[in-house]
Amino acid sequence: MSEKHHIIPVWFFVGALFLVYGLLIFVSGLAEWSHPANTVEAELHAPVWWGALLTALGCVYCILFRPGRTKQ
């Protein structure tokens, strides 16, 4: 009768969402690299930078809050 219930932290799911969205934004930014939009600061390639940032943040959250990680 002594079952252990493992609760998955919500931050793990936030990290997974950041990871997925970051990869999607990064890939779309790479796809438009050679044909930038006609905007004022298109040469900055913001989708590439934001996608990379979200991907890195998502990886950090997924590693820090992964299920089954023992707390100290």
Whether pTM > 0.85 for this model: the answer is no
Q: Residue 66's pLDDT is what?
A: 92
User: Which parts of the chain sit beneath pLDDT 70?
Assistant: 1-2, 70-72
pLDDT in tens, 17-34: 999 999 999 999 999 998
Q: 9 in helix, strand or coil?
A: coil
Question: CA–CA separation, 4 vs 63, rounded Å?
Answer: 22
C-alpha 9, offset from chain centre: 16
Give the model's pLDDT for residue 42. 86
Sequence spans of domains, the chain: 10-36+44-64
Q: How far out from the chain centre does Cα 54 lie?
A: 4
In the prediction, which pLDDT does 43 show? 86
